[in-house]
Amino acid sequence: MGKITGFLEFDRKVESYTPVKERVQNFKEFTVPLKEKEIKDQGARCMDCGIPFCHSGCPLGNLIPDFNDAVYKGKWEKAAEILHATNNFPEFTGRLCPAPCEEACVLGINEDPVSIENIEKNIVETAFNNGWVLAEPPEFRTEKKIAVVGSGPAGLAAAQQLNRAGHWVTVFERDEKAGGLLRYGIPDFKMEKHIIDRRLEVLEEEGIRFKFGVEVGKDIKADTLKKEYDAIVLCGGATIRRKLPIKGSDLKGVVQAMDFLSQNNRRVDGLPYEGEDILATNKNVVVIGGGDTGSDCIGTSIRQGATSVSNFEILGKASEQRTEDQPWPFWPMRLRTSSSHKEGAHRFFSISTKEFIGDEQGRLKGLITVNVEWENIPGKRPVLKEIEGTEKEWPCELVLLAMGFTGSEMTIAEQLGLEADVRTNIKASIKDYSTNVPGVFVAGDQRRGQSLIVWAISEGRQAAHHIDSYLMGESNLPLKGEGDLPRL
């Protein structure tokens, strides 16, 4: 283990942010890196507690105490090897993961947890800066052909693992660049897109082929793909957006968050986009939905120069601290405040939007809300109740609907005869990610519903192991927590 008294000597420290006034002038990342000594001290805080609950908190089973120890000792290259043994893309999770590992950290029971996510980011950035992230093409090829549909984190992780096993992997992506929601959903201020490009260069050098601008199900039928490839893994994400079908929802100015965010990311990247400009500039903006997507809409609106930004959440305001009914080491549903929330948004909880109001030209000019409360009935789902006399009218020229996704698109499922659940997530055995059609597998948001990057990478890796076994009878690709740990 690292420094025995580290957790007593050093307080938790993570990267700081540049001042709000400065950072909202552009869409660049705005973290201020720690010095090397500070990061090593953070690694030293890991207690190597014997039963590392952080492993179970991380869906990838990252070998956290091992890389913390390596960082503390300044063995950065070893730390990078340990990290990559379980995580294909730590530069994504090191920036964007909500870090369930930190909620499960033993030190977190009565102290601030180890800053695992930030250590992870520093390890991978050191590795890239020193040229240690190199292509690892397989030593032999099996001549089996695999089609990966979708190039989000699930598809990229599955592709890299399957390529490592020696199969010929082709990734089909309907967009013109790879990354899925990493590129066309998550704003640049959370992750600049050259971070994805840098990793893609490595994947291409390893021999993975990409076919962009190809929508499977439309440009190439799924059954044709099935005939041409030995296995298919579907990683198309959960793309069906939840709607708010109330009066006025067809007014100009009521916009789906993903239309707004993807257009902005395209604009920042100099890529073309369809439809009219959707801009928050000089508008009173209301973001409906309090999750990650809502938070990204807030940061983007502020950077576009919105007059005001309000955020409505239908659920009540959660406690900032872990409550008794959500004990350690489980992931607690507590109030999370993002960097975007702190850039000038006004947050409102227990509030429901009843109607959008338009002018004579059909443009949004306001909306009506009502305060709500949730009645808990034992054994049943909580019931939403409006509070009488709390209706309020708000001026607003742009509404961004950020209420999540309800499921995945069904075209491929219909063409292949795949079973789906009521939410249109494609059904697959959790044991081996196989669908009801032999040779067709599914991973990431398209299987589990709207989720997290770390889960997408994890599912892509797990699915790859089972596809390799399906094709070859056995597999050396690691399962969760079976990273090939290098010797320190």
Ligand X SMILES: Cc1cc2nc3c(=O)[nH]c(=O)nc-3n(C[C@H](O)[C@H](O)[C@H](O)COP(=O)(O)OP(=O)(O)OC[C@H]3O[C@@H](n4cnc5c(N)ncnc54)[C@H](O)[C@@H]3O)c2cc1C
Stretch that binds ligand SF4, among 6-14, 55-63, 122-130, 323-331 (CB under 6 A): 55-63
Output the smallest distance, CB 488 to ligand X, in A: 29
In angstroms, what is the minimal distance from the CB of 307 to ligand SF4? 36
What residues from 427 to 466 belong to the interface with ligand SF4 (CB under 6 A)?
454
Q: How many residues bind ligand SF4 (CB under 6 A)?
A: 15
| Close Cβ partners of 4 (under 8 Å, ≥ 6 residues apart) | none
Q: Strands 31-32 and 209-212: what pairing?
A: unpaired
Of 66, 69, 117, 343, the residue at the interface with ligand SF4 (CB under 6 A) is: 117
Which residues bind to ligand X, rule: CB under 6 A?
Answer: 96-97, 149-155, 172-175, 180-182, 185-186, 215-217, 235-237, 261, 292-293, 296, 412, 444-446, 451-454, 456
Each residue 70-109 as x (binds ligand SF4 by CB under 6 A) or -, in order, gives: -----------------x-----x---x-xxx--------
Nearest to ligand SF4 of 413, 454 (CB atom): 454
378 CB-contact burial (10 Å; exposed 0-12 / middle 13-18 / buried 19+) = exposed
445 binds, among ligand X, ligand SF4, none (CB under 5 to 8 A by kind): ligand X
* CA distance linking residue 304 with residue 299, whole number of Å: 9
Per CB under 6 A, does 120 bind ligand SF4? Answer: yes
For ligand SF4, the closer CB: 57 or 248: 57
Least Å distance between CB 279 and ligand X? 18
Shortest CB 351 distance to ligand X, Å: 21
Least Cβ distance, residue 54 to ligand SF4 (angstroms): 7
Quick one: how far is CA 470 from the chain centroid?
Answer: 28
Cβ–Cβ under 8 Å, residues 76 and 126: yes
Instruction: Compute the least distance from the CB of residue 486 to ligand SF4, in Å.
Output: 17
Residue 91 backbone phi and psi in degrees, to 5: -70, -25
* Tokens linked to 151: 């190039």
Instruction: Quote the CA–CA distance of 15 and 263 in Å, as a whole number.
Output: 29
**Sites of contact with ligand SF4 (CB under 6 A):** 57-58, 60, 62, 64, 87, 93, 97, 99-101, 116-117, 120, 454
